[in-house]
Amino acid sequence: MLIVRPLLHLTAVCAMAALTLLFTVRADTAVLTALLSRPILETGTPLAEVQAFTEARVLAMPAVTTLDAWRKFADRTRRDVLEKIVFRGELARQWRDAKTQVEWLDTIPGGPGYSIRKLRYEALPGLWIPALLYLPDGVSGKIPVHLAVNGHDKEGKAAPYKQLRCINLAKRGIASLNVEWFAQGRLRTDGFVHYRMNQLDLCGVSGLAPFYLAMSRGLDALLALPYADPTRVAVSGLSGGGWQTIAISSLDLRVTLANPVAGYSSYRTRARYPSDLGDSEQTPNDLATVADYTHLTALLAGRSALLTYNAADNCCFASDHALPPLLAAAEPVFQLYGQPQRLRSHINTDPGTHNFEVDNRQAFYRMIGATFFPSDAAFNATEIPSQPEVKTAVQLEVPLPPGNLDFHQLALAASKNLPRAGAATRKKLAEVTHFKSLNVAAKQTGTETRGDVQATFWKLRVGDTWTVPVTELTRTGATPTGTTLLVADAGRKSLAARVEALLAAGHRVLALDPFYFGESKIAQRDFLYALLVAAVGDRSLGIQASQVAAVARWAGTEFKTSPASVALESFGPRSSVFALVAAALEPRAIGRLQQTDALASLHEVLHQDWTVDQKPELFCFGLLEALDIPQLKTLVGLARLE
């Protein structure tokens, strides 16, 4: 017993010490989590800043006062949009130059006065689009033709309101081509989800190209018909179909009448109305640096346009805010042509929601009559009742060839030999990511001491554009031996354990939330704003890297550290990429880079089949074409990597 008791006493003491240490670590972690979670930004700051940033960068309408000047501007704008945006990248240009392939299939009965012929055509080699041609009976001579596009409707070409539009036009002597849209109807597959088109962007190939080619090849098929009148060519569609209508009609002069329905608004409008923020195809990289949707609307001048919007739209593009800026931009240009009557608008109030129902269809028929049949007094715009003729998706099924390609498959093929051979340079990296060297204006918003932890809270105004929240943490009474910046996919509040370890090692810690992460996360429709950032000519990845680099430079000055003495650590695959970019482009301020859970290659983005709504900054246009993670690490330098 004399031997056991001391052993028991020693064991108890050790156990108590261990518990005390464990409790202390947990207490420190809890304290640190509380300090890291303390808000620094005012509520709504990230949203307000991204709205101001994007709105200010949208190209304005030109002050054109003569028809000749406008025509020169219009020709240049169309050329720039097509060459610099739609067909950007060598592969996209190859797709553009391929010959249109059309395969006509069987014909099925339609209803009184028309039949329906099935077909499929190649938008680009290996990617086929199913379609239906509503053909009037007894065609003789040249007749008007119409391309019917649709939006985000899972029924696709079988949507009843779309069938009724095509049926009514056929009964009025107009051949109507009802085409399927990506991710809808017969093309409703994961590989065609619109947020996967950005996988092509990562490879330096315009993800917008397949969308545009699907429309232009449809026009090819229509106008190849021996009875097609090339002077009477209409396009119409709802929502995403409205976007398709303005996209193809503004850029392809073969279209002579456009009726976009609740399909788009100006980028300036979108910046302020989150409901209007469009999907990837509506917000392609850099479009707003070449043309806004105000410009695209004005490009319809010289032809005919009916802009239809809904008064109480429960989806997007409500008439009160979406329509006025478009009319204000387009009306003066239609006046230059001496054709103000060719630009019309219609606001639907019954039902007033997101629709292309009978009131909106009849507005379209009236425009058809005025434009294509102006001298036909018998033309009647009242909808011809045809509901019994609406068919099921099975009846309208158009088979696709085996192995029909989709966005994901196209991106995997495009990525096979990327990055391209050649030396990766800092200049190229800065160009691709749109990296900028930004100044910092620092404002201390408060301090707090908890136990032996001293916290200082900073708002860093970066580039007079962004406010980056930073929590500075040190041990009270100790002189820091180094400064470490921390960034994480889960935000700075997730970093308590690492902060504790760094403080124990004598470091000053600066935990920050760059653009889109942690406290800097945009409150609503965040990834759509990230797309808008790219559309106005910037890149989320470049903003994040620029902010981190700016904070590193500021830290070196603020805390009087020697050059390249600031360390940077990242946690998570997304943070790893912008941290690498920052370290590669700011070697004088960032001395060491350590990464946890980092990407090994940008090819993982494709092989994991990620989409832009999940990790928007990783889809930086042309990044994988220029360089991959190994090349980024080379630019950083192995001596600086841990």
Alpha carbon distance 10, 33 (integer Å) = 34
Which pLDDT score is estimated for 422?
A: 86
pLDDT band at residue 333 using 50, 70 and 90 as cut-offs: very high
Mean pLDDT of the chain: 95
Share of the chain above pLDDT 90, in %: 93
Which pLDDT score is estimated for 11?
A: 44
Which pLDDT score is estimated for 28?
A: 84
Kindly state whether residue 26 falls inside one of the protein's structural domains: no
Residue 303 sits in the same domain as residue 360: yes
CA-to-CA separations, 297 to 37, 273, 283, 526, in angstroms, rounded: 46, 19, 16, 27
Q: What is the mean pLDDT of residues 226-248?
A: 98
Residue 176 sits in the same domain as residue 316: yes
Q: Tell me the two tokens of residue 558.
A: 């603020």
Place of tokens 């800043």: 49
Residue 437 sits in the same domain as residue 376: no
Q: Strands 566-571, 590-596: parallel, antiparallel or unpaired by DSSP?
A: parallel
Alpha carbon distance 390, 142 (integer Å) = 27
Structural domain count, the chain: 2
Question: Which secondary structure element, helix H or strand E, spans residue 215, and what is its range?
Answer: helix 209-223
CA dihedral of 75, 80, 85, 87, whole degrees rounded to 10: 80
Residue 255 sits in the same domain as residue 155: yes
Residue 45 sits in the same domain as residue 161: no
Alpha carbon distance 553, 101 (integer Å) = 56
Alpha helices, DSSP H, located in 98-190: 160-171
Whether 292 contacts 58, CB under 8 Å: yes
Q: Tell me the two tokens of residue 555.
A: 């830290």
User: What is the residue range of 156's domain?
Assistant: 117-390
**Residue 348 carries which side chain, given as an amino acid letter?**
N
Kindly state whether residue 64 falls inside one of the protein's structural domains: no
Q: Tell me the two tokens of residue 144.
A: 């008007």
Instruction: Tell the burial category of 77 from Cβ atoms under 10 Å away from its Cβ (0-12, 13-18, 19+).
Output: buried
Which pLDDT score is estimated for 1?
A: 35
Which pLDDT score is estimated for 639?
A: 80
Opening angle at CA 394, ends 389 and 398, nearest 5 = 100
Kindly state whether residue 515 falls inside one of the protein's structural domains: yes
Kindly state whether residue 251 falls inside one of the protein's structural domains: yes
Kindly state whether residue 342 falls inside one of the protein's structural domains: yes
Alpha carbon distance 486, 468 (integer Å) = 13
Which pLDDT score is estimated for 560?
A: 87
Dihedral sign, Cα of residue 68, residue 72, residue 75, residue 78 = negative
Alpha carbon distance 612, 79 (integer Å) = 28
Kindly state whether residue 82 falls inside one of the protein's structural domains: no
User: Which domain-ending residue is among 368, 390, 412?
Assistant: 390
Instruction: Note the pLDDT tens digit of each residue in 363-405.
Output: 999 999 999 999 999 999 999 999 999 999 999 999 999 999 9
Which pLDDT score is estimated for 400?
A: 97
Residue 381 sits in the same domain as residue 424: no
Residue 379 sits in the same domain as residue 452: no
Instruction: Note the pLDDT tens digit of each residue in 10-26.
Output: 344 444 444 343 334 44
Instruction: Note the pLDDT tens digit of each residue in 478-529.
Output: 999 999 999 999 999 999 999 999 999 999 999 999 999 999 999 989 999 9
Instruction: Note the pLDDT tens digit of each residue in 294-325.
Output: 999 999 999 999 999 999 999 999 999 999 99
Which pLDDT score is estimated for 15?
A: 45
Kindly state whether residue 125 falls inside one of the protein's structural domains: yes
Residue 365 sits in the same domain as residue 470: no
Residue 353 sits in the same domain as residue 429: no
Residue 238 sits in the same domain as residue 298: yes
Kindly state whether residue 435 falls inside one of the protein's structural domains: yes
Q: What percent of the chain is helix, strand and coil (3-state, nearest 5)?
A: 45, 20, 35
Q: What is the CATH number of the domain that holds 263?
A: 3.40.50.1820
pLDDT band at residue 559 using 50, 70 and 90 as cut-offs: very high
pLDDT band at residue 4 using 50, 70 and 90 as cut-offs: very low
Opening angle at CA 536, ends 532 and 541, nearest 5 = 70
Whether 486 contacts 518, CB under 8 Å: no
Instruction: Note the pLDDT tens digit of each residue in 55-113.
Output: 999 999 999 999 999 999 999 999 999 999 999 999 999 999 999 999 999 999 999 99
Residue 354 sits in the same domain as residue 465: no
pLDDT band at residue 3 using 50, 70 and 90 as cut-offs: very low
Opening angle at CA 56, ends 52 and 57, nearest 5 = 120
Which pLDDT score is estimated for 314?
A: 96
Model's pTM, two decimal places? 0.94
**Per the omega criterion (within 30 degrees of 0), is the bond before 230 cis?**
no
Residue 302 sits in the same domain as residue 451: no
Alpha carbon distance 541, 533 (integer Å) = 10
